[in-house]
Amino acid sequence: MRTSGLIRSAMPGLGRALAPAGIAGVAGELASIGLLSTATWLLCEAARRPSLAVLAVAIVGVRALALGRGTLRYVERLRGHDVALRMVAGLRGLLFGGLVEGRARLASGDLLSRLVSDVDAGQDLLVRCLLPGITAVGTGAAVVTGIAVVDPAAGLAAAIVVLLAWLGPPLSAAFVSRRTAKRLAPLRGELAAAVADQLHGAADLTAAGAWPWLLRHTHLLGIRLAGNEKSAAGPAAAGLFLPATGAVAVLSFTRVTGPVAAALAMAAFGAVGSALPLVDAAAYWHRSIRSLGRVGSLFDVSPDEQPKAVQGTVRTLRLRSVHCGYGSGDVLSGVDLDLWPGRRVALVGPSGAGKTTLLKLIAGQLAPTAGTMIAGGRPVGPADLAASCRGVLADSHVFHRSVRANLLIARPVAGDDEVTEALHRAGLGPWLETLPAGLDTVVGEDGGRLSGGQRQRLLLARALLSDAPLLVLDEPTEGLDRATAAEVLASIVEATHDRALVVATHDLDAALFQEILDVRDGRVVRRESIRTG
Ligand SMILES: Nc1ncnc2c1ncn2[C@@H]1O[C@H](COP(=O)(O)OP(=O)(O)OP(=O)(O)O)[C@@H](O)[C@H]1O
């Protein structure tokens, strides 16, 4: 999806919503420049000892402008951030809605943290780019017009410097930031990794006496980073001379003299100064547009990946000659598999053979690169499978919430008795009885307060509680002793007699399955059908 379309969908009527903030921004900046000019005029005029009445008007003007400046800036910040936060909320809603409905997908390399910061970049685009842009252009145009009304020659001089300030430093900042961004990002990453190494490996470094080497490496990285950041700040530093240039240009060309000339010079100083935030805006513009482009690309789901009009959920699945991988070549080649309610299939084979990859394909987490996937006589895509399949996979997440909340994610309407039964079936009954807070026990970030085996079985209980017709389990009894593992697996098979079950295991109890697929190097090399009673 294009960035402009993404923004329009996330926040319809953005222009209208942003207008009050833009107007307040320009008015606030004009009040600030008016204050500077009036105060300058007042000081110069006071030296001539005019009547008190003349000065009194200017003094009231200064007070009013000072009050107006603060109030208008407050309104601009309030309105601007309100619109920006609403837009970010809209972007999140759009993205999560798209993910749920299969109109968007996360590429496998998308880290959650990057996704969050990419969405937040929408806020920067409004608050740090668009609003400063509107304020700078509106203020500059209004002040130059004002100066030209008093003295056209001074107006022309001011216009040239203002134009220079609008274009020169921002364009060179955009150019420099584009060039340095390529060097800065890896340098920052390297520095962060070196600092993390020092923190986590402190004991080993001390024991090995390797501190001096790593400290020197970190120090050199810091120096290189500072050097690059300094050159990135060049255009902003050069821009600081421009306001004074504007004032001098007006004083050089104006035909008016005395306090009015000083006031005009200060007005030009302020108008050029109002363009300085454009330097930051230009740097942020590039970054924000790239971030939003990445968010938009998540919506570029090919027609094959979009949910098809399958009637109901996928209950039977036929894979024929399916190939699939992680973007750098196929891991699975030419896999055939048939699933239907009550079908129990075991995947066996050496580590790295492709068992998990096949489970991810069935769960709709990976798209096939070739072959067909048919359900109910129609072709289906990953989104259809994702809606019909639950399971236990290595990257399944445990939420920092209670045991109950972690299970109810699978079926929010389930009662406590069903939740407890699922936990018992997954072999967590004895553990549950030891918990003082029972189902209300909070399990820690990603199940950090659970042992590896307990975490795995909590995920298993969640999958069992769901009413998904397809279940995929990756080593569901890992970490259990043989007797308990056999008991848990038998209980799973009994609980899922009306669904299709695919289990990847290194610890096979053949009697529980109807078909065993031996996977090696991404191919099914042997297929054994077990006759069950
Ligand atoms: N996220 C990934 N990105 C790229 N390659 C991957 C990814 N996950 C797995 N692979 C590769 O795919 C191949 C199959 O891995 P997979 O996890 O499916 O094997 P497995 O049979 O489940 O192994 P194990 O029994 O150890 O879990 C391996 O060569 C692995 O390196």
Give this complex's ipTM: 0.96
Contact of 276 with 165, CB cutoff 8 Å: yes
First-to-final CA distance of the chain: 54
Residues in the chain, overall count:
533
Q: How many H-runs (helices) and E-runs (strands) does the chain carry? A: 19, 10
For residue 108 and ligand 1, the question of a CB distance below 6 A is answered with yes
Can you tell me the distance from the alpha carbon of 502 to that of 355, in angstroms, rounded to the nearest whole number?
Answer: 10
Angle at 359 between CA 355 and CA 364, to 5 degrees: 145
Predicted confidence at residue 108, as pLDDT, reads 46
- C-alpha 294/C-alpha 111 separation (Å) is 12
Of 248, 239, 230, 234, nearest to 168 by C-alpha is 239
Mean pLDDT within 46-51: 83
346 or 97, greater pLDDT: 346
Residue 318 has a pLDDT of 94
**Do 123 and 284 form a contact (C-beta atoms < 8 A)?**
no
The CB of 326 under 6 Å from ligand 1? The reply is: yes
Is residue 305 very low, low, confident or very high in pLDDT (cuts 50, 70, 90)?
A: low
How close is the Cα of 395 to the center of ligand 1, in Å? 12
Ligand 1: does its nearest atom lie under 6 Å from the Cβ of 325?
no
CA 377 to CA 308: how far, in whole Å? 12
CA distance 496 to 412: 19
pLDDT digits (tens, 9 = 90+) for 197-217: 788 777 777 877 777 877 888
Q: 3-state DSSP call for residue 12?
A: coil
Task: State if residue 354 touches ligand 1 by the CB under 6 angstroms criterion.
Answer: yes
Q: What is the percentage of the chain residues whose pLDDT exceeds 70?
A: 94
Q: How open is the CA angle 311-107-346, to the nearest 5 degrees? A: 60
pLDDT for the residue numbered 212: 82
Helix 14-46 to helix 258-273 angle (10° resolution) is 150
Q: Which atom of ligand 1 is nearest to the CA of 475?
A: 27
pLDDT value at 154 more than 80? yes
Q: How far is the CA of 390 from the centre of ligand 1 (A)?
A: 19
| The pair of three-digit structure tokens given for residue 200, joined into one six-digit string | 């986590």
Give 361 Cα–ligand 1 centroid separation in angstroms. Answer: 12
With 70 as the cut, is the pLDDT of residue 100 above it?
Answer: no
Domain chopping of the chain, boundaries = 3-301, 317-529
Give the strand order in the sheet containing 370-375: 330-339, 317-325, 370-375, 378-379
Ligand 1 centroid to residue 357 C-alpha, Å = 6
Q: What is the pLDDT of residue 101?
A: 62
What is the pLDDT at residue 103?
67
At residue 311 the predicted structure's pLDDT band, cuts being 50, 70 and 90, is: very low
How many Cβ atoms from other residues are within 10 Å of residue 76's Cβ? 23
Higher pLDDT, 100 or 183: 183
Residue 1 has pLDDT above 80, yes or no: no
pLDDT at 323 over 50: yes
- What is the per-residue pLDDT across 353-364, written as a single tens digit (0 to 9) for each? 999 999 999 998
User: Does residue 74 surpass a pLDDT of 90?
Assistant: yes
Answer whether 3-301 and 317-529 agree in fold: no
* Residue of the CA atom closest to atom 9 of ligand 1: 357
Determine if ligand 1 sits within 6 Å of the CB of residue 352: yes
Distance CA 457, CA 23 (A): 58
- pLDDT tens, 222-265? 999 898 888 778 777 878 888 999 999 999 999 888 899 999 99
Q: What are phi and psi of 372, to 5 degrees?
A: -125, 150
Q: Rounded to an integer, what distance in angstroms lies between the CA atom of residue 73 and that of residue 66?
A: 11
Are 370 and 323 contacting, i.e. CB atoms less than 8 angstroms apart?
Answer: yes
CATH no. of 3-301: 1.20.1560.10
pLDDT in tens, 422-481: 999 888 988 999 988 889 998 887 777 888 888 888 998 999 998 889 999 998 887 778
Task: Identify which has the larger pLDDT, 1 or 495.
Answer: 495
The reported pLDDT for the residue numbered 113 is: 56
From 468, 481, 472, select the one nearest 503 (Cα to Cα): 472
Q: Which residue has the higher pLDDT, 375 or 98?
A: 375
261 to 38, 465, 517: CA distances (angstroms): 12, 80, 90
Q: Tell how strand 370-375 and strand 317-325 pair up.
A: antiparallel
Residues 195, 207, 217, CA angle at the centre, nearest 5°?
35
Stronger pLDDT, 444 or 115, i.e. the higher one: 444
What is the pLDDT, as a whole number, of residue 119?
Answer: 81
pLDDT interval class at 346 (50, 70, 90): very high
User: Is the model's pLDDT at 296 over the cut of 90?
Assistant: no
Does the predicted TM-score (pTM) go above 0.95? Answer: no
Under 8 Å between Cβ of 406 and 458: yes
What order of strands is seen across the sheet that includes strand 515-520? 389-392, 470-474, 500-504, 344-348, 515-520, 523-529
User: Which of 111, 322, 324, 357 to probe ligand 1 with, by most ligand atoms within 8 A of CB?
Assistant: 357
Q: What is the mean pLDDT of the chain?
A: 86
Res 307: pLDDT? 52
Q: Which CATH number fits domain 317-529: 3.30.1360.70, 3.40.50.620, 3.30.420.40, 3.40.50.300?
A: 3.40.50.300
Q: pLDDT per residue over 49-62, tens digit each? A: 878 887 888 899 99
Question: Is a pLDDT exceeding 90 seen at residue 320?
Answer: yes
Question: What tokens appear for 341 in the block?
Answer: 């309610």
